[in-house]
């Protein structure tokens, strides 16, 4: 069968590219090998099935339990000591996943995208081989091919997964009971989010990170505040340390860790390995297809996600840039648009990032270090949520908003937020930055009162020492 577009991979980048291509009048198919427990095709990729969505479900459930346990009394609400049903939490998470994956299938049907169940392999410029679940192979032809197979967690030799006591991020979303002692290797987005979930539910959590700084993609004044808050939340984070060896038992794991030049042995009931992800290219490219991987396993593309073969594209975690679902989605839309002859670009300077702990951590644009390295003079403004009436009323006034602006032009170049609703507030900053807004533009914009968004307004005013509700 011949198509205008074949997409290999049904994750965020792939299914969005397929839907958009079909909407633009292109005959489109999407190949995905993942399946549910009944052997039916499962769309949505890592994000929907074992990543973004299920982790947010558990983050929200665990935070509600934490609120009842720790903060209701401050509001004058008296409750007996709460309990939680982990099985029901997991069932709720799984129901959400089932609903959303089914939703993608319905969108394919609505938009006339052919869903092909099997493992896709690029043979050459126009041909894709699909191996179904029974091992039967079939060839498909397309004028354009989009590679969107995503990424997989990195396994480290010193602590290999065993699926029971040592797991990756997916396994950490399937625990049947709360570990008493939980070790996490990696203090990035995944490690911090999963650490938050299980700490709230009663685990004694220790996180081990090789980097000497926590979240080096942020400015140090923000990370100091973040570290203090996580310490209060009983997230014990060790920086600049290395796991040398692990010994697994039926009900636990011993880790040998180098901390501050000293070897320590620690026992945990469960260990989560969250040290990053690698592009998933296993059996994706035939040896003669004409594409090669770089030294890190990525597929080389230009700014339009076009490979060295002009009608073959790659998006999402397969290519350079942050491994984020929304980045993959926008790349998928861009590629579909360009195949259809339209001119669209992705602004890679403004890719937002969020860590869904509580408080949330969110940022976009440049940091102080990046601006200094690029020789750009800047000015900055900060506003603490402790000075926000809405945040204080909610009993959620930890953290701050930071705005960086060009010293000469006043254009906003970066926004960093640590606090309640940081992910939502960031979007307001991002929209302004997309239109090259100045800090003065933000300052002259009327924000509703009382809202936590006013913190962005005040931080922008503070850039030019004009904040109203703090000293300048």
Q: Which residues are catalytic?
A: 449
- Using CA atoms, how far apart are residues 43 and 141, in angstroms rounded to an integer? 22
Residue 186: closest CA among 167, 205, 166, 208? 208
50, 172 in Cβ contact below 8 A?
Answer: no
Q: In three state form, how does the secondary structure of 343-409 look?
A: CCCCCHHHCCEEECCCCEEEEEECCHHHHHHCCCCEEEEEEEHHHCHHHHHCCCCCCEEEEEEECCC
Token pair of 267 as six digits: 């026992």
Determine the Cα angle at 388 with ends 387 and 390, to 5°. Answer: 150
- Using CA atoms, how far apart are residues 247 and 222, in angstroms rounded to an integer? 37
45, 12 in Cβ contact below 8 A?
Answer: yes
Distance of CA 284 to the CA centre of its chain: 24
Token pair of 130 as six digits: 């699909």
Residue 317: closest CA among 286, 284, 350, 340? 284
Q: Is 442 exposed, middle or buried (0-12, 13-18, 19+ CB in 10 A)?
A: buried
């Amino acid at each position: 069968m011949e198509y205008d577009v074949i997409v290999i991979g049904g994750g965020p980048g792939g299914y969005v590219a397929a839907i958009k291509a079909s909407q633009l009048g292109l005959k489109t198919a999407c190949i995905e090998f993942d399946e549910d427990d009944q052997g039916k095709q499962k769309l949505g990729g890592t994000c929907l099935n074992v990543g973004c969505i299920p982790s947010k479900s558990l983050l929200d459930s665990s935070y509600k339990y934490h609120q009842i346990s720790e903060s209701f009394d401050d509001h004058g609400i008296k409750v007996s000591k709460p309990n939680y049903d982990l099985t029901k939490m997991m069932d709720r998470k799984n129901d959400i996943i089932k609903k959303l994956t089914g939703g993608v299938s319905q969108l394919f049907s609505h938009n006339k995208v052919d869903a092909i169940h099997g493992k896709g392999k690029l043979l050459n410029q126009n041909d894709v081989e699909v191996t179904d679940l029974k091992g039967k192979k079939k060839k498909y032809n397309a004028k354009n091919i989009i590679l969107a197979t995503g990424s997989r967690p990195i396994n480290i030799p010193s602590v290999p997964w065993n699926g029971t006591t040592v797991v990756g991020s997916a396994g950490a979303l399937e625990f049947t009971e709360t570990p008493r002692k939980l070790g996490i290797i990696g203090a990035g987005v995944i490690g911090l989010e999963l650490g938050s979930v299980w700490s709230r539910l009663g685990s004694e959590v220790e996180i081990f990170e090789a980097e000497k700084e926590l979240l080096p993609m942020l400015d140090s004044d923000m990370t100091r505040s973040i570290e203090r808050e996580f310490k209060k939340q009983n997230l014990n984070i060790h920086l600049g340390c290395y796991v040398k060896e692990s010994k697994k038992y039926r009900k636990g794991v011993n880790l040998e860790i180098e901390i501050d030049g000293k070897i320590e042995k620690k026992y945990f009931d469960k260990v989560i390995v969250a040290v990053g992800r690698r592009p998933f290219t296993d059996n994706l490219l035939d040896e003669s297809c004409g594409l090669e991987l770089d030294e890190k396993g990525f597929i080389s593309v230009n700014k339009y996600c076009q490979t060295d073969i002009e009608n073959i594209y790659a998006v999402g975690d397969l290519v350079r840039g942050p491994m984020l679902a929304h980045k993959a989605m926008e790349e998928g839309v861009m590629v579909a648009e360009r195949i259809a002859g339209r001119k669209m670009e992705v602004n890679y300077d403004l890719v937002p990032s969020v860590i869904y702990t509580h408080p949330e951590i969110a940022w976009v644009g440049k940091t102080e270090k990046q601006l200094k390295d690029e020789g750009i003079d800047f000015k900055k403004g900060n506003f603490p949520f402790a000075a926000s009436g809405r945040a204080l009323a909610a009993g959620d006034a930890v953290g701050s908003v930071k705005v960086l602006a060009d010293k000469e032009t006043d254009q906003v170049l970066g926004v960093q937020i640590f606090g309640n609703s940081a992910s939502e507030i960031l979007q307001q900053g991002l929209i302004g930055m997309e239109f090259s807004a100045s800090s003065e533009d933000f300052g002259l914009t009327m924000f509703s009162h009382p809202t936590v968004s006013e913190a962005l307004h005040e931080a922008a005013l503070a850039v030019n020492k004009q904040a109203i509700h703090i000293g300048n």
